Amino acid sequence: MQHICVVGLNWGDEGKGKIVDVLASDVDAVVRYQGGANAGHTVYIGDVRHVLHHIPTGILHGGIQAILGNGMVIEPAKLIEEVESLSEEALSRIWISDRAHVVLPHHGAVERILEEQASRPIGTTLRGIGPAYQDKFGRSGVRMGDLVQPGFVDDVLEARLLERCRVLGVSEQCATEGVQICTQLRDRLGSQVIDTCHLLNEMHATGKKLLFEGAQGCMLDIDFGTYPFVTSSSPSFLGVGTGSGFSPRKIDHVVGVTKAYCTRVGEGPFPSEITGEAADALREAGGEFGTTTGRPRRVGWLDIPMLCYCAALNDIDSFALTKADVLTGRDTVPVVTGYRLGEELLESLPFSVADMEAVEPVVEQWPGWNQVDERAMQPFIERLEAATGIPVSILSTGKRRDEVCIFSPFQVEGEVA
């Protein structure tokens, strides 16, 4: 197997960072293809916590190249901060696409106004992600490659940003701040800005192994998620091609990551959501507080129709099941297997937000486990595999790197393939 892609199958925070870290021990490069500092990917090496927002978590393994693809939007101050938390040696392994867009101060300013004035806010991470993608698709964006063009930051950028500030009706101070932060980004990371599409294809041609790391999750996908309560990019596997310039046809295996239950941070439909004391207990047990914003995550049960929808869209080959340890000790585990909308029994989520919010989940009790290992969890895993038709290849049993069971096709004679 040469190339793997890891994607989230819920509303983000499934534990993608940890799964990528587990699989990264045997690859040559890890690649992000969308999103930006809205992502927060956590890895525990021993008891030391590492959180990355732009840089793929595989960077934590020595010798691996970390590539920030063209589909990303880069927030200069955040990326610089992230780089400072790593070693100078690690910096030499980070490559940023010249076509990735820059998140600028006016994006944050616009987003704050939109969220404050909306009759129903989305509950975004307020990292300027939506407005940055709006500028990209409105053909008014600034790209990483622009920053390293001679004279661009010093002579051209301010006028460009002032024009955007005037059009968008935000303070012209944003333009001044934009030039300052872009100058810092160019000076600190300009030498790492390259044509990453060329690099990826060259690595493929020379037999190198690539691992693609999705951010967010399929239910936050701009096209396929619970629109408009979504992010502004394509986190699903379908986004890999446009977000990296690497043909998805070359990717051999797609791993879909799901928790053994479900969470969502921000607003929007969540059919399997639970509230009250049971929810508080699950949130505490799972440490369900946002990695990027610290917000309490909404919690609910594993949702099989949603999982099947995401698995099909992402053409999943196997599941990575995370946070199984959080549910240890229950005789049974509630799982949503369908929805009722009035008299109608649905097998998949309806189109409109109103209907998605109106559905009543059909809950079944599946076998629980008293300890978190593959044997004790076998009945649950078999039930999941039968309901979805997709095998579990990775079982994450704790937050640390070594708390994991790895099955076919990633296990070869006791080693990660």
Tell me whether residue 13 is one of the annotated catalytic residues: yes
Q: Is 215 in the site for ligand IMO (CB under 6 A)?
A: yes
- Tokens (6 digits) for 10: 């819920």
- Tokens (6 digits) for 59: 């960077």
Q: Containing H/E element for 385?
A: helix 378-388
Contact 106, 161 (CB under 8 A): yes
Tell me whether residue 41 is one of the annotated catalytic residues: yes
C-alpha 292, offset from chain centre: 12
Residues 34-53 close enough to bind ligand IMO by CB under 6 A: 38-41
Contact 336, 363 (CB under 8 A): yes
Q: Is 326 in the site for ligand GDP (CB under 6 A)?
A: yes
Site string for ligand GDP, 296-325 (x = CB under 6 A): --------------------------xx-x
- By a kind-dependent CB cut-off of 5 to 8 A, residue 388 interacts, out of ligand GDP, ligand IMO, Mg ion, none, with none
Is the sign of the CA dihedral 234, 43, 80, 113 positive or negative?
positive
- Annotated catalytic residue: which of 3, 21, 41, 106? 41
Helix/strand/coil for 287:
coil
Q: Is 42 in the site for ligand GDP (CB under 6 A)?
A: yes
DSSP assignment string, 203-241: HHHTT--EEEE--S-GGG-TTTSSTTSS-SS--SGGGHH
Site string for ligand GDP, 221-240 (x = CB under 6 A): --------------------
Select the residue interacting with ligand IMO from 220, 377, 381, 394 (CB under 6 A). 220
Q: Toward ligand GDP, which CB reaches closer, 174 or 260? A: 260
- By a kind-dependent CB cut-off of 5 to 8 A, residue 124 interacts, out of Mg ion, ligand IMO, ligand GDP, none, with ligand IMO
Site string for ligand GDP, 376-415 (x = CB under 6 A): --------------------xxxx----------------
Q: Is 265 in the site for ligand IMO (CB under 6 A)?
A: yes
Q: Is 20 in the site for ligand IMO (CB under 6 A)?
A: no
Burial of 391 (0-12, 13-18, 19+ CB in 10 A): middle
Who's near 1: CB < 8 A, 6+ residues apart? 209, 252, 253, 409, 417
- Tokens (6 digits) for 169: 């009706």
First vs last C-alpha separation in the chain: 8
Q: Is 245 in the site for ligand IMO (CB under 6 A)?
A: no
Q: How far is the CB of 81 from ligand GDP (least distance, A)?
A: 17
Helix/strand/coil for 49:
strand
- By a kind-dependent CB cut-off of 5 to 8 A, residue 266 interacts, out of ligand IMO, ligand GDP, Mg ion, none, with ligand IMO
| Cα–Cα distance for residue pair 333/396, rounded to 1 Å | 17
**Amino acid identity at 4:** I
Q: How far is the CB of 394 from ligand IMO (least distance, A)?
A: 17
Helix/strand/coil for 87:
coil
Q: Report residue 249: phi and psi, to 5°.
A: -60, -25
**Which residues lie near ligand GDP (CB under 6 A)?**
8, 12-18, 40-42, 44, 287, 291, 322-323, 325-326, 396-399
- Residues catalogued as catalytic: 13, 41
**Which residues lie near Mg ion (CB under 5 A)?**
13, 40, 291
**Which residues lie near ligand IMO (CB under 6 A)?**
8, 11-13, 38-41, 122-125, 127, 129-130, 215-217, 220, 231-232, 265-266, 291
